[in-house]
């Protein structure tokens, strides 16, 4: 049974693609108010694990519990409804639209079919509410001065933060981030890390997949390490840095 602080519990999650075991009975959890990093060499099963959590992929085995609601296969809509929101590995903003429009539309689109059509069916009150919420989240992430700028005119670091603002519109308790630091400059990484700490300190949890070791070790409260689909270690950044199994996996034995 989940204790009060457990937001997400992954229990023996398994995913096979034909003969390939991409995720091999992996278990870990994410508690309230914590930043957890999922790391591992290429092909370790990180993206597949993310897709099992968000319901994009159907697990071969195991279960996923969100706030104590246990699923064999949670559908993306259910996952979103229970308070898990995500960003994607590659920036998905519309460059010719403003920051406000991108956040408002993105928030409305989440997990809906016929998204654009339904945007046009919004009545004025709904539209006003959506824009107000989008503006609030843009302020919250510190991009208030860019609200009317075209998304394509922002730096990559700012675009990543716009995507986070979009993910925040559904008021999630857990944010899943897929390689948020990829391609960012040092200063941008620091700004991103500061934002994620601010969100955590405000009561949210973050689960991120990330390649950048410096970023992870500086930011995460806890690190889960996958190798060939199997969890080989879990612990604080300091413990993980010196873990012989982890070092071996990264040196590519």
The site for ligand ADP (CB under 6 A) is made up of 17, 20, 22, 40, 42-48
- CB closer to ligand ADP out of 55 and 83: 55
Single out the segment in contact with Mg ion by CB under 5 A; choices: 41-49, 74-82, 128-136, 224-232: 41-49
Q: Can you say whether residue 202 is alpha, beta or left, with left for phi > 0 and alpha for psi between -120 and 50 degrees? A: alpha
Q: Which residue is nearest to Mg ion (CB)?
A: 47
Cα four-point dihedral sign 234, 213, 237, 90? negative
C-beta atoms surrounding 20 within 10 Å: 11
Report residue 126 as tokens.
Answer: 């709904």
Single out the segment in contact with Mg ion by CB under 5 A; choices: 1-9, 44-52, 151-159, 230-238: 44-52
- Closest contact distance (angstroms) between CB of 64 and ligand ADP is 16
- Closest contact distance (angstroms) between CB of 67 and Mg ion is 26
Task: Please choose which of ligand ADP, Mg ion, none residue 44 contacts, taking the beta carbon within 5 to 8 angstroms, the exact cut-off set by kind.
Answer: ligand ADP
Residue with tokens 């941008």: 188
- CB closer to ligand ADP out of 56 and 135: 56
Considering only residues 207-226, where is the footprint of Mg ion by CB under 5 A? none
- CB closer to ligand ADP out of 130 and 226: 226
Single out the segment in contact with Mg ion by CB under 5 A; choices: 32-40, 42-50, 158-166, 189-197: 42-50
- CB closer to ligand ADP out of 54 and 102: 54
Q: CA 58, CA 229: separation in Å to the nearest integer?
A: 16
Task: Please choose which of Mg ion, ligand ADP, none residue 157 contacts, taking the beta carbon within 5 to 8 angstroms, the exact cut-off set by kind.
Answer: none
Q: Can residue 24 be called a binding residue for Mg ion (CB under 5 A)?
A: no
Q: CA 169, CA 103: separation in Å to the nearest integer?
A: 8
Strands 222-227 and 35-39, by their bridges, are parallel
Q: Can residue 47 be called a binding residue for Mg ion (CB under 5 A)?
A: yes
Identify the CA nearest to 163 among candidates 99, 231, 223, 109: 99
- CB closer to Mg ion out of 47 and 85: 47
Percent helix, strand, coil in the chain, to 5, is: 40, 25, 35
Decide if 161 contacts 142 (C-beta within 8 A): yes
Q: CA 46, CA 174: separation in Å to the nearest integer?
A: 17
- CB closer to ligand ADP out of 35 and 44: 44
Q: CA 166, CA 115: separation in Å to the nearest integer?
A: 15
Task: Please choose which of Mg ion, ligand ADP, none residue 20 contacts, taking the beta carbon within 5 to 8 angstroms, the exact cut-off set by kind.
Answer: ligand ADP
Binding site for Mg ion (CB under 5 A): 47
């Amino acid at each position: 049974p989940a204790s009060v602080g457990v937001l997400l519990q992954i229990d023996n999650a398994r995913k096979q693609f034909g003969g390939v075991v991409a995720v091999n009975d992996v278990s870990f959890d994410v508690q309230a108010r914590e930043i957890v990093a999922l790391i591992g060499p290429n092909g370790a099963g990180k993206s597949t694990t993310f897709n099992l959590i968000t319901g994009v992929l159907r697990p071969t085995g195991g279960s996923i519990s969100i706030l104590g609601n246990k699923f064999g296969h949670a559908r993306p809509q259910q996952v979103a409804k229970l308070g898990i929101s995500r960003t994607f590995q590659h920036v998905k903003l519309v460059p010719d639209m403003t920051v406000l429009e991108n956040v408002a539309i993105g928030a409305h689109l989440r997990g809906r079919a016929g998204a654009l059509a339904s945007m046009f069916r919004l009545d004025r009150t709904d539209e006003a509410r959506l824009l107000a919420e989008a503006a609030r989240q843009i302020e919250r992430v510190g991009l208030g001065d860019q609200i009317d700028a075209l998304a394509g005119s922002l730096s990559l670091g700012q675009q990543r933060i716009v995507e986070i603002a979009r993910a925040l519109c559904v008021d999630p308790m857990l944010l899943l981030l897929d390689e948020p630091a990829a391609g960012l400059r040092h200063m941008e990484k620091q700004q991103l890390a500061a934002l994620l700490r601010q969100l955590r300190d405000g009561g949210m949890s973050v689960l991120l997949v990330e390649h950048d070791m410096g970023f992870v070790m500086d930011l995460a409260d806890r690190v889960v390490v996958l190798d060939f689909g199997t969890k080989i270690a879990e612990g604080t950044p300091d413990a993980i840095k010196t873990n012989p199994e982890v070092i071996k996996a990264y040196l590519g034995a």
